[in-house]
Structure 1
Amino acid sequence: MAYINLLPWREAARKERQKKYLTVLAATALFSFAAMFSINMLYNAKIDGQLQRNSYLNNEIKVLEQRIVEISTLKDKKKSLQQRMSLIEQLQSSRNLGTQIMDEIASVVPAGVYLTQFEKKGSSLLLVGKSESNNRLSNMLREAESSELLADPLLEFIEAGKDSSTLLSNFKMHLMITGFEAVHGPAEPVTPATGGGK
């Protein structure tokens, strides 16, 4: 039987298998690289898109913050204007208050009652004077109670005059101006001092 040498064929087959293996390995590596590159590009695109959205949102937030500051400024200006308008209305409503008070005092003081002192402190009025009789003072108190501008009349004292030649009695009275607090704000009323009466 003739001797057949199979070594060259085996060597060729081994080299062929090795070549196919390297080819498959290279193809697998190339496919893996392409897949990783594609995935990387996809995620980079998503990240870029998210960064753009974040940038847009940050810009819109800044615009809204500026508008909030403007709205706050406008509210402060509105409040200031409302205060000025309120002050102007108060001044308009109170510019004739002094004349109205004098007219009202003249209308409530009856004949036979004479004022020697007239003082205004805040919303309080102090009247000091002389009266021919207690009935006239009573009439004055009733007139003051029915007045639309005056309120809470309080007779602090009434006493006979020191001069026996006259029949006039000295008196001291407190009154409140109605609506004064709405115009000028609250004021401390004059507290009547204790005194003897007759």
Structure 2
Amino acid sequence: MSNGINLRPWREERRQLRQTQFVYLAVATLLLGLVLSGFWWWSSNQSIQAVQQENQLIRDQLGVLDAEIREVTELREKREQLLQRIEVIQSLQRQRPVTIELLDQLTGSLTEGIYLTDVRRQDNQLTIQGHATPSQALSDWMRSLEQQQRFSEPVLRSVTSDESIGANRFDLLLPLAEDQP
């Protein structure tokens, strides 16, 4: 009993249809994979470029900060130099009356026949060079220096006779009194 229905061509057509669908689906999947890969590659490149731009911006800002740090350092150094200058000036201002008083007492104590050629102050002592016409004038002047309130006992370092000027050259060390600045 055969009906005469041939199922073979129908199965063959269905198999070919499924094969065609499979090929289309495989090509579509491949294309979708390529599109997704391309998008991922483009997205990665964009991210890398964004990071590189951020890094460059950070480098630029670091350069600006380094320049500002150098400027601040230079300004601090200038400030320190100015403060040191101000201190020196203030010190000189404080010592001006003392120096005037020292010179006033020194010249007020001079006796006749004493001629000063060099007076130098270093810390708390004066170094005095000069010449005395009679040798007694030097002794009188040294006694006069001892009586001044700003000076301690003078120390005569050397006395030499100078025939060219007809006087004795002397080198005297005069310490300042301890309680004086």
Summarize the alignment of residues 145-164 of structure 1 with structure 2, pairs less than 5 Å apart: 148=150, 153-157=155-159
Maintained 8 Å contact 1:150/1:176 = yes
1:78 & 1:175 partners in 2: Cα distance?
39
Question: TM-score under structure 2 normalisation?
Answer: 0.60
* Paired position in structure 2 for 1:82: 83
Maintained 8 Å contact 1:150/1:175 = no
1:10 & 1:171 partners in 2: Cα distance?
142
Q: Secondary structure at the match of 1:131?
A: helix
- Distance verdict in 2 for CA 1:121–1:106, change over 3 Å: closer
Q: Describe the superposition over 1:157-182 as per-residue Cα deviations: whole angstroms up to 9, x where unpaired.
A: 388xx9xxxxxx9572412575xxxx
- Distance verdict in 2 for CA 1:80–1:30, change over 3 Å: same
Q: Secondary structure at the match of 1:118?
A: strand
- Structure 1 residue 125: deviation in Å? 1.6
- The percentage of aligned residue pairs carrying the same residue is 23
Summarize the alignment of residues 1-198 of structure 1 with structure 2, pairs less than 5 Å apart: 8=9, 12-13=13-14, 15-96=16-97, 99-106=100-107, 114-123=112-121, 124-129=127-132, 130-131=135-136, 139=143, 143=146, 148=150, 153-157=155-159, 172-176=170-174
Q: Secondary structure at the match of 1:47?
A: helix
For the aligned residue pairs, the C-alpha RMSD in angstroms reads 4.2
Any stretches of 5+ residues in structure 2 without a counterpart? 122-126, 177-181
Maintained 8 Å contact 2:118/2:129 = yes
- Structure 1 residue 62: deviation in Å? 3.1
Q: Secondary structure at the match of 2:79?
A: helix
Q: Describe the superposition over 1:1-55 as per-residue Cα deviations: whole angstroms up to 9, x where unpaired.
A: 9999887557535532431331231132133124313422442342243134224
Maintained 8 Å contact 1:126/1:173 = yes
Give 2:117's aligned amino acid.
E
2:55 & 2:117 partners in 1: Cα distance?
72
- Distance verdict in 2 for CA 1:48–1:120, change over 3 Å: same
- Distance verdict in 2 for CA 1:87–1:50, change over 3 Å: same
1:151 & 1:59 partners in 2: Cα distance?
70
2:38 & 2:93 partners in 1: Cα distance?
81
1:44 & 1:54 partners in 2: Cα distance?
15
Higher relative contact order (CA 8 A, sep 6+): 1
Any stretches of 5+ residues in structure 1 without a counterpart? 163-168, 179-198
- Distance verdict in 2 for CA 1:40–1:157, change over 3 Å: same
Equivalent residue pairs, number: 164
1:133 & 1:149 partners in 2: Cα distance?
16
Question: TM-score under structure 1 normalisation?
Answer: 0.56
